[in-house]
Each structure stands twice: as structure tokens, then as C-alpha cells.
Structure 1
Amino acid sequence: MDVADGRLVKRSEIAELAGIKRATVTNWERRHVGFPKPRVSGELELFELGSVVRWLEGRTVPVGNLRRGEAEGTTYAERVRRALGRGEAGRGTAGPEDPDRAKKILDELHGPPADRVRGTGPHAAYLTLLATMIFLRGCAARTWARVRDLVAEAVQEQRPPAALLRELGALSDKALRRNGIRPGAEAAFGALRTEDAGDIAHVVRLCEGLGREGFRLLVDRFEETVRRGSEEFSTPAEIMRMMAGVLLPDPSGPPLRWHDPYARAGEALVAVVAAGGEAELSGESPHQESLRLAELQLALYCTRAELRTGTATPWTGTDHRRFDRILTNPPFNRPGRDWGDRAWPFGTPPARNDNLAWLQHVWQSLAPGGRAGVVMPNAAADSGDAGERAIRGAMVERGAVTCVVWLPGRLFPATGIAVTVWFLAAPGTAGGPVLLVDAARMGTTRGGRRFLTDREWASIVECHESWENGDEGFADLLEGAGTALSVPVEKLRTQGYSLSPSDYAEKASGTAPADVPVPRPADALGEARERVVIADRAVDGIRVEAAKGASAEWPVVRLGDLCDAVPGPSGTRLKEVRRSDGGVPLIAPKHIRGGRVIASDPELIDPEEAERLVRFRVEDGDLLVVRTGSAGRVALVTPRETGWIYATNLTRLRCRRPDELDPRYLFAYLSAPAAQGRIGDLAARATVIQSLGKGRFEEWRLPLPPLAEQRRVGDAVHALDEQVTAHRALADEAARTRDALAAGLVTGLLSAR
């Protein structure tokens, strides 16, 4: 590769490198038809320097313009190459970094520094600043050193931050163009409203510790903050890695042409590079900012791709290139705007959306023997619309669809939508069974998002490979709750070409193995019934009689004299706290149910962060009360939850004098209808949203019976709560048993006697 290849330059930079006047470049451009054409990037016209240098091979430097050391016959191309050789040397350390450290740095970058550097400027400008700094640190060592010097000088000299940002932007754009990346840093940095150059210096120092993983996490965090529309949000790297894994060719073969017709931030092309092997990469996007992010991210992998400005309707263009592999996540469910004059191979897509237009376009863009992976909304796979069903059927019958993977919802940072991944085979592929993988119940939920482990993602790839090899046990390779079916075309016809695994699961289940006993309902419910019996006996042992006004003799006390009321940490503080696997559970209002803390999937706070929130830990015997929204729900903390942290909208009540106030009695009192009604009234008095402040709890007056009576009250209410919990558990178990047995009974696998 020529040293000039991949670099983008302005006319003035061509002139500087060639040692001529800018007007000379303009004259060459006007007078010579063969002079390379510029490409537009925003308001700039940029030239691909490699093409210019090859044109300059035929132009010798006039004798009178030769420089010292240049021989007669020297070409302008040679002069440019020598100038480039004296340019920026070395590429930074763009390799992978510690993911946990990258998360900590990004947590800080999205904390107070973000507000101070961005000011009233757009979030996208701050993203561009961080992404550009990560790129410079990883791929432009000299420029990165100059950035650090500029920042240090600005802080020392107390220069205006706007001037510093202008210098950084101009310096960055030069480095971007040298690396073949479309510029835009100067304009983006100029939109920031920073008040102190020291804040910029702090951000630059933090970016020193970020590389490839930090860049990926940065884009994810931006999605969570800004919530862009489906045309712009990025695709989780794990999805693209799985897709690339399925489509990877034999490593001993020649390099393949991989393409993404809707490249977003380059996630698909990066997944190909990360998977290893040689590849020719290309992509398109209608969004210049997305293309720049893609170029920056690929540069961190020391890779370039041919990235073009495209459209959201590529089937209307004149690009008829064919590719060996296509990997893409096109925008979803947009109304059909322009189907063009093309002949659709499987039928004209319905006007309601362009999902099947994308699938057909990708299929037609495959070279012989090519394959593709396309992210689609679930509806594309099982819609009952007659037009969509007909197209889907034609694709299945002609062997275009080989596999569909159903993924869980909430994988994306910016949307909870669940998606499917379609794997397609090039025209001319013989039709056969379709592999349907149901991974919708795989993974775990953390912080409102769904995550699959690396092992779970890898098992999907292994399942597909095993199925392609004809192995019978392909479904057994899936981890967790994943299932897979190989469905013949004949069966797909009977279900209107639905590609949903649930439409074939019962039919594919075969017969019940003879050596597996079928559980009787009585056996399935045995443990739950035993709990009910024990709870009922405890309640039967309670003796209740009229107290003849004994409560009139009980003193009325102020709750604040016996308890500490501590509201949870602020929402801003919790938002900045890192989450991590194996961390400390965070109790939220939704976990307060039936007088207990029931948290099956709590967020997990990093242990180091939890140490800083020690004031908000709970202990056995504490009470947690929901204080905003539907205020009043109360739970008694048990030994199981000891050490957990509680969230913003909860207040913890801790008995300061247990020799005077029993926690179980306080729980019984606050959960009684009268107290619940009063809490609702007090909360409704708030001026903005219903809430119950710390002072309301402290000033609460409650009757205080003797400690022995408090314990009797607490024991009785606890026994009643245990009875309610046991009966609910029995009802839930009965419902699950009913569903399990009904599935077997209605399919003939089981019979009732």
C-alpha cells in the first residue's frame, strides 16, 4: 500500500505537500480531466491523497523549482511521499484494555465532567470529543502528545476554553484526514460550552486510559443517555460477534468481501475484524456522524474500510456490487417510501414497512456462495399480513432463509424491542430445513437491560455449526434456557411460513421418553402443601379475644424518639454508582411486595461503591417504606437482605431502642389499614408528586403497648403473613403444574385417568 493511501486532504494540504501554490492545484483540477474528484464531507471537499499521488506520478518538477537534493526528473509524487515520511510516526497503543477499568473511567466521564465540559452544548458534541481523544491516544501518537501539551499550556496560562477547543478541533481534524477519516472535530468541539480549561484537561487525562473497549462502551453509554431513533442507534457488539461467528468462512480460504449496507457506528465491521482473518470491508450510512464513528472505531483495530455515504433505501440506487458476506442491522418498521423500479425477487413489499425490502435487497446483493446476517424485528418472522407471508414463503421455498435466531428483549441500550437475526444464503442455494433458535429466555437482567454471557452467545454459534454439519444433538449445545428446532419446509408451509419456534415446539417434541416418570399433581404440589399446613397450624394457635379498651392506657409516642428515619440516596448519586456482577443488591420500590423484600433480579452495585453507601445499608429488623409515588408499602428486612443497599424512593426505619419498640410491632402497625390510609393522605399533600418526607415519619404518633404485648402482636401478624405467603405459593405452584400438564394432555403425550 502506498504511504499516501487512505488519507484525506484539502487543496491547501496538497499544495503544501507538493511544494506548490494552492492555485496550481486548482488549475490542475480545472484543466485535466483525469485529476481525482473530491468527495464532500460537510462543508469541505476532500481528496483521497493516494489517488492524487498516483496522478502526480506523471508530473515532473520543473528544473527551476527543484529543491536541494532533488534530481532532475523528480516527480511531484516523490516529493509528496518524502513529505509524508517526515510526518507523524508511530501509532499509539490501540489494543484492548481492562473492561472494568474502562467502565470506571466512563462512569467518571459521564458524571460531573460531562456537564461541565458540555455545558449547554449537544450530547453529540461531547461524544465526538471523547471518541476523537480515544482515537488520537490510540492511533496518532505525535498528535496525542501535542494535545496534552496544548491542554497543559492552556491550564497554566488560564486561556479561554473556547480557544483551546478550537485549537484541539483543528489539530484533530488534520490527524483524522491523515488517517483517511472524515473530519468534523473542529465544528463539534466548537459547539461545547465549557467554562474552565481545567475541565477539558481532566477529560483528556481520563481518555488516556481508554482504547477499543472504552470506545465501544462509550457508544453504548451515549445510546442510554440520548435515546436516538432506530435509524441511528448502534447494535450491541455481542449480537454482531455472534452473527460474524456464524458467517465466518474457512480460515484457509481467500479473503472475503464483507459489507454492511447500514453501517451505523461500524459495529458489524468491527466484529468481523475482531473475529480474525483477512477481509475486504465496506459499508454505507446516510449519517456522516455515524460514518465518522465507524472510521474511528475501525482505526483502533488498525483497519480501514471503504465507507460511503448511502441512503436508508439502498434498493433505489445504482450500486449493483455483490459481496461474499453481508452483516447488517437496518432501521426497523419504516413505512415503505420508495420501492423504485426494480423487480423484487420474492414480491413487492407491503407499504406498511420496509423490513422485507431490506431482506430482499441484502439477498440480491450476495455473490454466488455468499451468506448474510440481518437483524429484524420479530414481526417480520411471523406476521400474518398476507403480503409479508407470501414473501416469507417464497424466500423459504427458494432456500434464501437458512436460520432465524430469536433474541431476548432489552439487549439494546436505547430500546427494549426484541429482535430476530435472519441468516440468508445466496441465490442458487438449494432449499432445505430452516434452523429456528429460541434464545429469548437466555441471559439475565441487570439494570433494566438483558445480558447473555459470552458462553451463551458462543453456544448459539456452536449450535448452528453443529446443525450445518448434520449432527443430531445440535440443540443440546445451547446454554441455559435456549432451544432449537430444525423445521422442514413442509411443516413451515402448514403454519403459513411462520418462523417462530413456538409454532413448532410441541409438534417437534415427539413422544414422552418411556423411562421418564410423569409427575402426579399431588407430587408436584407436595412441598407447597406442607408449607400451607404448617402456616395454618400456626394461625390456628392464635387466640384472639376482646381487650376491653386496654389500648386507652397505652402511651402515645413520637416515632422519631424511638426510630431513625433515613431516606435513600439521591437519584443523581445512585446514577453515578458503578454496577458490576457479584456486587451488592440494590433494593428498589418494586421489590417491596407482601410485606417482604422480593428481589429476583436486583441491580448489583460494585462492592467498592457500596462501601461509600454504607449509610444506606439495611440490617435484620429494619423496615423499608416506599415514600414516593404509591407511598406506604412496607417490608420487614430479614437476615437474607442484611448488607443490601436501598434506593432513592425508600425510607429506612431502624429501631434505636429495641427494648421499648419491637420492629415486628412497628411493621404490624404501619401495614394496618388505618396507618396505610394515613400515609396515603400525607403523601398526597406533597406539592409535585406524592411523597412522604423524613419529617413526616419522625413526627408520627403511635400507641405503644408494653413490650410483651408488642411481641404478641408482632408474632400474630407475622404468622398471618406467613399463611398468606404459603397459600399464594401453593396457588402459583398449582398454576405452573396446570400449564405443564395441560401441554402434555392436549398434545396426546399424557393422558388423565
Structure 2
Amino acid sequence: MRDDVTVNAADIARLADVGRAAVSNWRKRFDDFPQPVGGTATSPAFSLVEVEGWLRRHNRYVEVAPVERLWQRLRSATDDLRLGEAVGFAGTVLLRLQREPGLDEKTLFVEMRETAPYGLDVDAGLVAAIVEVGRAEGPAEAFDGICDRYVDLHSRRLLATPRDVARLMARIGDTSGRTVLDPACGIGTLLLESSGSLTLGQDVSESAARLAALRLRFHGYESRVETGDSLRADAFAGEQAEVVICNPPFSERGWGYEELTSDPRWEYGLPPRGESELAWVQHCLAHVRPGGTVVIMMPGVAASRRPGRRVRGNLLRAGALRAIITLSAGAAPASSGAPDLWVLRRPEAGVAPPSEVLMVDAGEDLALAETAWQAFCSSKGLPQGSDAVRIIDLLDEEVDLTTSRRITVLRQPDASSFSALREKAAALAKSLAATLPRLSATQRHERAMSSIGELARAGVVTILQGPLKLPGEGELPVLTTKDLLLGRAPTGRSADAPGLARVERDDIVSPIVTDSGWFPRVMTESGAVLGPQLLLIRTDPDRLDPHFLAGCLRAASSSRVRHGTSVRLDPRRAQVPRLAIDEQRRYGEAFRHLLAYEDATRALREISDNLVAAGIDGLFNGSLHPE
């Protein structure tokens, strides 16, 4: 590795698993902290080698994963404005390696240096570092890791759709095995979840389009990705796909209103100047075959803004708009509010337009969105939180399609359930005291630590990760992130395939990104498959107690969450105190009781809320009376 690879304060904080304030304090408190070697006064850059040496000397070193080293090297080889091109270059090298695994590094360097983008400092060492990580991790996995870090760094600019939302959009669109188009594809997140037989993409950013094309090739997709503004310079003019999925940019003022006024795509009315999203809706409909499906992310306000009521009304009258599904805030990175998914079907000649549209208030329950859509399509009973609304009832002066105005979500229990809830609350409250462990105060002292990366190299733990996408429908139970949060049995289903991670009893499972309420759990049942966005850590129980390790992971993640940050879990960096196995088991039992107490109090809180609501309503309406 070259010794001129640099890192900034945020990088150091991530490497050492501390906050940025800690790095600032180290610079002030320790005279031997490395001096900046570049950057600016407000964002200095430090030598990675010097920083690693300092961390080791001060017993703060966390093993740097090979892909992390490569990422820092790529960042040091160019500036942040050209970083996407550097990531693309790494992808080109890795793709060449995937096609010819035996190719030697010198030959590869000679071939690749001629294709290096302007401004990227390419030498034989950089190509060798890319090849080394590609051979260790696998070319596709290595490129996925680099892209993940690129998205994390430029999240505000790239606006990548969360993978669970992308998966939902693909499933609602029934994209598997079909020709799929995303006209605002970014780096290809939606298309990667599609399992389409042919994937077509376009993006205004040249570097994003290049990354999308590379990612699709790595994962075996037949694809075509173009660069350009889809509204102004449509690369697929005249072409129609079977499904279009899209998460377009929101609130674009300069989307081309003046120059596109007479465009034939505006079949349902000229989109108002301030309603760029309605232009994207009609662009998507123009590119789907009759009877084909469009699933598009929309800002919540697009359902009710007055200037767009004419287009919304025409979409309803034609039967093109089939569903509006409201998600939780943050589901669309372009918006801080709760976005909607609009599901549309291009009308077919000779087919009568439908009389109802589905509305779903899904929030964070993405399974509800899919269940409601499937039930609506098959004319089955709809789940709570959804409703089939008559189109004629929506065609008033405002054409307001806000789901909260049309759906009554019954969250409060009936007064008749008061007695049963009271008994449950009393029994649960009585059992709480017995759940708490007895802990004695003692003087705090520093403990010798080992990283999980070190334990993995010693064979004490094995780390597995859920796949980016599952192979398809089947009978194999899948543990999902929602199952883990709620502590329930696996609800997902998948076909069997090589490489799936099977969950065993006493495995520790955690979401890759931990937030409030999202913490590691020790599994009590075997047999399920690990779902996407989940990590599994399996211990040698004779050397490391699983409940002890789960408690240590919980301590690390909850500390960060209390300070208001989500944590992307890199298990190899997590620290574990070095204790004898008998001592671990004592601590592990205490951790287990504390986490059981937390689950019980959470359940009691939910029952208590329902109990109070049922009691107050019953007393008010006369269905309950004091004894």
C-alpha cells in the first residue's frame, strides 16, 4: 500500500468507531497525533499510515477491512468531484478480473491505465490493490462494498433508494423475468432489485450511469444504460418496456416546461411548471406497453397540490392510476416527508377502466403495502390500513388523493377488550421484577479488548451476511429485518439457492444499519434463511458465549444511537472484553435478562396504551362503567 493515502476526521472516526468530537479532542490533547499532510484548514487530511500507527500506540486501533483500505486509496487518488469516475475505474478493473481471473496484475495495469479517467492518479500499485481486494472478496462483492461507501459519502447527491423500498417497488411491479426500464436510474439500485430479463436505464449523470451499467453487469443482468436527461433527451424514444420503475428527482423547476409544452407524452394534460413529478409519471406511462405497470416514487404533496388536480383527474378517469401507497418519512432520500408510491397501468384498448383505486397507509410496514396490492389485484379482502376507494368519490374539485384523508386506520381497541387487556397488563407487570438481574456497583476499570475481526481470524466467530436479493418465491422461510425488530417468527419466503445463510439456534443476528429499536438478537430457533440487510455472527460456544457477545454488540450500537446517529454495523471492528468463558456466561446471562426485560416492557407499554384508550372510550360512550 502506498504511504500517501490520506483520511479526514470523519474517516478516522469511522475507522476507530468513535464520534468526530473524539477525533477533535485527540488532536488537542495528544502532542503526538499526526499532523495534517493536506486538505484545508477546516477539513484537514492525514496520512492513513500515520493515523494507524497512532491508534496502535494508544490502544485504539481497529482492524481496517481490505475494502476500506482500497476505498481510502481511491479517495486519495482524486478529488471528491471525480470520485465517481474513480469508483467506475475500479469497477472496470474488477469486471476485467471477473472475466479473466488468472490475468496477472502487470498486464492488467498496462491495459487499464489507458482507460483511466482524467484526474485519476493511476499507478501499478493502485491496480494491484484493486486486484488484491477483488480476489479476496470476489469482484462483484468488492465493487458492491466500494459503491456502498460511495453512496454513504455522497448520500445527499446520489439519493439512492433504500434497498427494502426498491425491493418493494420491484415486487409490486412484478418485474422478475420482464423488460424493465428506469429512466432516472442513478447508480442502478432499482434495476438491481428487479430480476428483469432485460434492464434499461438512463441517468443525467454520466458517472452514475456508468456505475449503474457496471453494477448490472457484475450481477449478470443483460442491460443497456444511457446518459442524458430523460425528459429533454429521451434515449429510449419510441421504446416500451413491460414494467417501468422510477424514483425521479423531486421539485425540479428547470425540467423543460417551456420547450416541452407540446410533447406527445402529455397524454393526460400538460404538467404544471412546478409539478415536475407529473411529467415523470407521464414519461413513464409513455414507455410502458398497454397493460404494463409503472411504479414511481412521488412526494406526498403531489397527491394534493392544486395545480396538478387536472392531470390527477385525467389519470383517474382513464383508469391509469391504480394505487397510492404512503410510506414512512425517509423512504425517499429526496424528501424529508412521507413519500407515496403511485402504481399505474397503461390502459388497454377495449378494456373498461376500473371503478376503484387502492389506497394504503403503510408507513414502515412495507409488507402491508405488498399484501394490500396483491389482495386488490386478486379481488380479495383488504388488510387493515388499506381501502379500495371509488374513483367517482375522488373526482371532486380538489382531486385530493392523500391516503390519510381516505383511510381510517383502526388503531384503538374496542371497549369490550378492556378486561382481557387488563389481565394481560397485570400478569406482565407482575413478571417484570423477576426478569431483572441483580447487578452490583464496582469501580470502573479498563479491560483488555479483542476485535471481532481478530476473533474471526482465530476461528472463534464466523460472520455471514444476507444476500442483496433473494432468488425468488419459494417455501423456504426467510428472517426479515421487520421480523428481527418485532421478535417474531420468519415471515419472508424464498426459493432455495446456493450461498444462502441458514440461521441456527444461538446465532446472533443484527441489521446492518442499527437505529433506535434495531439491535442484535440471539436466535432461539433454527431453519430460517438470513434475509437482506442482516448480519449473522456464529460463535464457538466453548470459547465465546453468544449472549455475552450480543450484549457487547448492543452496548456499542446503543451508545451511538443515543447520540442520534444510525450506525452501519461493521462487525469486524466491534470490541469484545477478554474474559474467561465462565465469566462470559455470567455476563451473558445478565445481558440476556436485561434484553428480555426490555422486550417485556415494550410489550407492556403497547398493552398499556391500548388499555387506557379502551377504558377512556368505554367510559365516555357508556359501554363501560366503574364497579
Question: Which amino acid in structure 2 is aligned with residue 436 of structure 1?
Answer: M
Do the aligned residues in 2 keep the contact of 1:264 with 1:294 (CA within 8 Å)? yes
Quick one: which amino acid aligns to residue 380 of structure 2?
E
Q: Structure 1 residues 346 and 625 mapped into 2: Cα distance closer, same or farther (>3 Å)?
A: closer
Distance in 2 (alpha carbons) for counterparts of 1:612 and 1:465:
47
**Match runs of 1:188-337 below 5 Å:** 190-192=120-122, 199-206=129-136, 209-211=138-140, 214=141, 217-218=144-145, 221-229=148-156, 232-235=158-161, 239-240=165-166, 242-248=168-174, 258-269=180-191, 274-276=195-197, 282-300=200-218, 304-311=222-229, 314=231, 321=238, 323-337=240-254
Verify the 8 A CA contact 2:248 2:280 in the aligned structure 1. no
Counterpart AA for 2:387? L
Shift of the 378–612 alpha-carbon distance from structure 1 to 2, 3 Å rule, reads farther
Paired position in structure 1 for 2:52: none
Q: Distance in 2 between matches of 1:406 and 1:262?
A: 21
Change (3 A) 1:301 1:391: same
Q: Distance in 1 between matches of 2:617 and 2:233?
A: 48
- For 1:626 and 1:220, locate their aligned partners in 2 and report how far apart those are by CA, in whole Å: 25
1:415-454 pair list within 5 angstroms: 419-426=339-346, 430-442=353-365
Aligned twin of 2:284: 362
Aligned to 1:400: 320
Q: Measured at CA, do residues 243 and 197 of structure 1 come closer, stay the same or move farther in structure 2, by a change above 3 Å?
A: closer
Distance 1:323 1:620 in 2: 50
2:394 matched to which residue of 1?
492
What is the rounded CA distance, in whole Å, between the counterparts of 1:620 and 1:320 in structure 2? 54
Distance of aligned partners of 1:559 and 1:652 in 2 relative to their CA distance in 1, 3 Å threshold: farther
1:135 is the counterpart of 2:95? yes
Letter in 1 for 2:68: G
User: Which residue does 1:63 correspond to in 2?
Assistant: none
Alignment of 1:390-539 (within 5 A): 390-408=310-328, 419-426=339-346, 430-442=353-365, 456=367, 460=370, 464-469=373-378, 471-473=379-381, 475=382, 483-493=385-395, 497-506=399-408, 519-529=416-426
Equivalent residues in 2 for 1:2-401 (5 A)?
Answer: 108-116=65-73, 118-122=75-79, 123-138=83-98, 140-141=99-100, 145=102, 148-149=103-104, 151=105, 153=106, 165=109, 167-170=111-114, 185-187=115-117, 190-192=120-122, 199-206=129-136, 209-211=138-140, 214=141, 217-218=144-145, 221-229=148-156, 232-235=158-161, 239-240=165-166, 242-248=168-174, 258-269=180-191, 274-276=195-197, 282-300=200-218, 304-311=222-229, 314=231, 321=238, 323-337=240-254, 338-340=256-258, 341-343=260-262, 344-352=266-274, 354-381=276-303, 383=304, 385-401=305-321
Shift of 1:339: 0.9
- Contact 2:415–2:615 at 8 Å: present in 1 too? no
Report the residue type matching 2:447 in the other structure. V
When residues 465 and 616 of structure 1 are mapped into structure 2, their CA distance, relative to the original with a 3 A threshold, is closer
- Give SS of 2:282's match: helix
Q: Is the CA contact (8 Å cut-off) linking 1:335 and 1:351 kept in structure 2?
A: no
Q: Which structure is larger by alpha-carbon Rg, 1 or 2?
A: 1
* Change in 2 beyond 3 A, CA 1:357/1:116: closer
Are the counterparts in 1 of residues 97 and 131 from structure 2 also a CA contact under 8 Å? no
CA distance in structure 1 between the partners assigned to 2:334 and 2:122 by the alignment: 24
In the alignment, residue 426 of structure 1 is paired with which amino acid? R
| Cα shift at 1:613 | 11
Could you say if the C-alpha distance between residues 436 and 347 of structure 1 is closer, same or farther in structure 2, counting changes exceeding 3 Å?
Answer: same
- 1:466 to 1:196, Cα distance in 2 relative to 1, 3 A: closer
- Displacement after TM superposition at 1:227 (Å): 2.7
The whole-number CA distance in structure 2 between the counterparts of 1:187 and 1:169 is 9
Output the CA distance in 2 between the equivalents of 1:605 and 1:309: 35
1:566 has 2:447 as partner: yes
Aligned residues between the structures: 475
Cα drift, residue 116 of structure 1: 4.2
Tell me which residue corresponds to 1:636.
Answer: none
Secondary structure of the residue that 1:519 maps to in structure 2? Answer: helix
Q: Would the aligned equivalents of 1:165 and 1:190 in 2 still touch at CA under 8 Å?
A: no
Deviation (angstroms), 1:737: 2.9
Contact kept in structure 2, 1:569 and 1:647, CA below 8 Å = no
Q: Which amino acid aligns with 1:169?
A: R
| CA displacement at 1:168 relative to structure 2 | 2.4
- Normalized against structure 1, the TM-score is what? 0.48
- The answer on whether the counterparts of 2:320 and 2:346 sit within 8 Å (CA) in structure 1 is yes
Q: How far 1:204 sits from its partner (Å)?
A: 4.0
| Counterpart-to-counterpart distance in 2, 1:578 and 1:424 | 42
Structure 1 residues 624-633 or 293-302, which shifts more?
Answer: 624-633
Q: Mark the CA change 1:119 to 1:493 in structure 2 (over 3 Å): closer, same or farther.
A: same
Q: Where does structure 2 lack aligned partners over 5 or more consecutive residues? A: 1-63, 435-440, 467-502, 522-532, 564-570, 588-596
What is the deviation of 1:498? 4.3
User: CA offsets per residue over residues 700-729 of structure 1, 9 Å max, x none?
Assistant: xxxxxxxxxxxxxxxxxxxxxxx9999998
After TM superposition, give the deviation of residue 311 of structure 1 in Å: 0.9
Q: 1:424 to 1:130 in 2, by over 3 A?
A: same
Counterpart residue identity of residue 288, structure 1:
E
Q: Shift of the alpha carbon at 1:188?
A: 6.7
Q: CA deviation at 1:200?
A: 4.2
1:187: how far off? 1.5
* C-alpha distance 422-609 of structure 1, shift in aligned 2 (>3 A): farther
Residues 530/195 of structure 1: CA separation in 2 closer, same or farther (3 Å cut): same
What aligned pairs does 1:540-551 form with structure 2 within 5 A after superposition? none
**Deviation (angstroms), 1:371:** 3.4
Q: Compared with structure 1, are the counterparts of its residues 116 and 569 closer, same or farther at alpha carbon in structure 2 (3 Å cutoff)?
A: farther
- Partners of 1:420 and 1:530 lie apart in 2 by 41
User: 2:88 & 2:416 partners in 1: Cα distance?
Assistant: 60
Which amino acid in 2 is paired with 1:737? L
Q: Residue by residue, what CA displacement relative to the aligned partner does 1:583-618 show, whole Å, maximum 9, x if unpaired?
A: 537899x999xxxxx876679764258999969985
Hey, what's the Cα distance between the residues in 2 that align with 1:323 and 1:632? 49
How many percent of aligned residue pairs carry the same amino acid?
17
Distance 2:237 2:619 in 1: 54
Superposed CA RMSD: 6.0
Give secondary structure in 2 for the equivalent of 1:187: coil
Does structure 1 conserve the Cα–Cα contact (< 8 Å) formed by 2:170 and 2:193? yes
1:584 paired residue number: 508
Tell me: CA distance 1:325–1:296, structure 2 relative to 1, closer, same or farther (3 Å).
Answer: same
Which secondary structure state, in structure 2, belongs to the residue aligned with residue 328 of structure 1? strand
Task: Give secondary structure in 2 for the equivalent of 1:506.
Answer: coil
Local SS of the residue matching 2:416: coil
